[in-house]
């Protein structure tokens, strides 16, 4: 079994928000780190098992990972040009917690994104 790889953690830290396995791999390549795609996948799985990393899914089904506990934010995405603005969740955090409690859910995370046309488009 492969161990949680500190180099992968480091990349996730620098990536800030979410990153897919493929993105982590590409980033490490670009930075001259020598690592195989297989190892990236195994490290991420291991990190998820250890609850160091959170996994969820993009709209297209690709798995995306982020460090747990790190401050998280949401996105305002332009349908026209793709510009993305990071925004605060505000009321959402409370909403998620309330809903989860109401239905007895534990170990809870959430996603929320807003999309529309930005002023330029």
Phi and psi dihedrals of 81, rounded to 5?
A: -105, -5
x/- site string to its own copies, residues 86 to 105, per CB under 8 A?
-x-xxxx-xxx--xx--xxx
* Residue 46: CB minimum distance to DNA, A: 8
Binding test (CB under 8 A) with its own copies, winner from 2, 62, 70, 73: 62
- The distance of Cα 20 from the centroid of its chain, to the nearest Å, equals 8
The phi and psi torsions of 93 (rounded to 5 degrees) equal -55, -45
CA atoms within 13 A on the CB side of 82: 0
Q: Which is closer to its own copies, CB of 13 or CB of 81?
A: 81
Stretch binding its own copies (CB under 8 A), from 9-17, 21-29, 37-45, 60-68: 60-68
């Amino acid at each position: 079994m492969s161990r949680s790889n500190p180099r992968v953690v480091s990349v996730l830290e620098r990536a800030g928000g979410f990153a897919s396995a493929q993105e982590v791999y590409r980033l490490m390549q670009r930075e001259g780190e020598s690592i195989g795609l297989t190892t990236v996948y195994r490290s991420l799985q291991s990190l998820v098992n250890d609850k160091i990393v959170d996994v969820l899914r993009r709209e297209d089904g690709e798995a995306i990972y982020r460090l747990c506990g790190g401050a998280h934010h949401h996105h305002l995405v332009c349908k026209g040009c793709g510009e993305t603005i990071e925004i605060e969740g505000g009321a959402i955090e409370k909403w998620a917690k309330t809903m989860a409690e109401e239905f007895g859910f534990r170990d809870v995370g959430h996603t929320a994104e807003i999309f529309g046309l930005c002023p330029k488009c």
